[in-house]
């Protein structure tokens, strides 16, 4: 079992980042998965009529990328016990998001960590959030 100290070293040493270009296919699959039928997520003409420049990526999709990031790094050694995200600017289909994180120990005894995420397109902050995980 990896100690909390080793987890922090892993994050700091590797400066783990996630970069992903979001395709229309990604958004359509996600919409079907969560039964999100809002036209902003598949109809460019509708999105433009509502003041957006392209099809809008779901905020929940961006949050799910962060959740997947946690599993990619920690596998079955962590469970998510809380999360919160805010979405300040839209992300559009065919844009590339850059996700960075910062890990900090909240409770050594119970092995609880907070991972803060920044989600940017180019250098513009579009979303941010945190996920609280427990090392199991």
Residue 91 has a pLDDT of 98
For 52, the 3-state DSSP assignment is coil
Burial 66-76 (b: 16+ CB within 10 A, else e): beebbeebbee
Instruction: Kindly report the backbone phi and psi dihedral angles of residue 67, in degrees, each rounded to the nearest multiple of 5, phi listed first.
Output: -65, -45
Closest CA relative to residue 126, chosen from 105, 100, 97: 97
CA 78, 80, 85 angle in degrees (round to 5)? 135
pLDDT at position 103 is 87
**pLDDT score of 121:** 98
Provide the residue-wise pLDDT of the chain in tens; the chain has 136 residues: 444 556 656 555 546 788 999 999 999 999 999 999 999 999 999 999 999 999 999 999 999 999 988 888 888 989 999 999 999 999 999 999 999 988 888 999 999 999 999 999 999 999 999 999 999 8
pLDDT at residue 1 in the model: 41
Residue 7: predicted pLDDT: 61
What domains are there in the chain, each with its CATH number?
4-135 (3.10.129.10)
């Amino acid at each position: 079992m990896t100690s909390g100290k080793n987890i922090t070293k892993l994050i700091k040493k590797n400066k783990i980042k996630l970069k992903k270009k979001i395709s229309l296919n990604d958004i359509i699959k996600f919409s079907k998965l969560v039964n999100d039928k809002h036209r902003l997520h598949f109809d460019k003409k509708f999105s433009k009529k509502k003041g957006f420049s392209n099809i809008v990526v779901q905020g929940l999709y961006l949050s799910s990328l962060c959740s997947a990031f946690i599993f990619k790094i920690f596998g079955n050694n962590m469970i998510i016990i809380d999360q919160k995200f805010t979405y300040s600017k839209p992300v559009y289909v065919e844009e590339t998001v850059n996700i960075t994180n910062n890990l900090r120990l909240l409770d050594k005894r119970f092995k609880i960590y907070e991972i803060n995420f920044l989600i940017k397109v180019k250098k513009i902050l579009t979303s941010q959030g945190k996920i609280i995980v427990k090392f199991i």
